[in-house]
Amino acid sequence: MAVRSFRYVDRVGRMQTITAGRTHVSPESEDYERFPSAFAPAQVAARPLPARSAATAHPAPPVQLRSLATLPNTILMARSIRLTLDSEAARSQDGNESGGFLVGRAFERGVQVLDVLGLPTAKRGPRFVELDGAAAERFVAQFSSSMRIVGTFHSHPGASHAPSLLDLGAWATFYTWYPQCRASLVLVPDLEDGWPWALPTVRAYMLRTHRRDGSVVVEPASVEVA
């Protein structure tokens, strides 16, 4: 939690506000990385957590990627959340993927994203980023019991929004571990813009369990920013 209030300019030139006593961050976040003395550790019960990286989980559940959704899926977020996602995706200016977790509440046909956990210290490469589920669990433990890990996000430094087989396997694995982790966002630079990571485009997906065979179904979703 923040112990002092201040403002700063993030990687893509946007002004961010930190409020004492109200802003919670993870030790893996950019805020903590840049201003460690401005935050105090949250008082939460210690518990052993294994490293839960979907990139090293074996085997991944069966996955079906569909081009159309059976019913509409919606991912809700405030504009401040979208700006945070843009800032996190801008780490990919170095040519490597970046990513993290979406935190909030799930409902029948979608999720509401209330916070974002970026992982700047994650292992990264041009075609992968390892997301640590234990880090997300520690982050969520700071909040009320209604807050859950509701999804993941990651960037593709190239121009393709299409999820790779590695992406699909990772999404399905996290969905197995965290049943409300149903939303997946892929952020891609606007290569026609002079600042391609200033406002990346977003492709959204939602996961569910197939009623008959139990496989994981990945369907398109819409993003609503209010």
60: confidence class by pLDDT, cuts 50, 70, 90:
low
pLDDT tens-digit profile of 124-177?
999 999 999 989 999 999 888 889 999 999 999 987 889 999 999 999 999 999
Query: Is CATH 3.40.140.10 the right assignment for the domain spanning 54-225?
Result: yes
Q: Which residue has the tokens 């694995």?
A: 173
220: confidence class by pLDDT, cuts 50, 70, 90:
very high
The pLDDT value given to residue 27:
58
**Burial, 167: exposed, middle or buried (Cβ in 10 Å; 0-12, 13-18, 19+)?**
buried
Q: What is the DSSP string of 59-87?
A: SPPPEEE-SS-SS--EEEE-HHHHHHHHH
Q: Is the dihedral of CA 198, 203, 209, 213 positive or negative?
A: negative
In 92-209, alpha helices (H): 133-140, 165-177
At 67, list the tokens. Answer: 């081009």
- For the chain, domain boundaries: 6-38, 54-225
pLDDT tens-digit profile of 165-214?
999 999 999 999 999 999 999 999 988 888 899 999 999 999 999 988 88
13: confidence class by pLDDT, cuts 50, 70, 90:
low
3-class state of residue 182 by DSSP: coil
Q: Inform me whether the pLDDT recorded for 224 exceeds 90.
A: yes
pTM: 0.76
46: confidence class by pLDDT, cuts 50, 70, 90:
very low
Q: Inform me whether the pLDDT recorded for 55 exceeds 70.
A: no
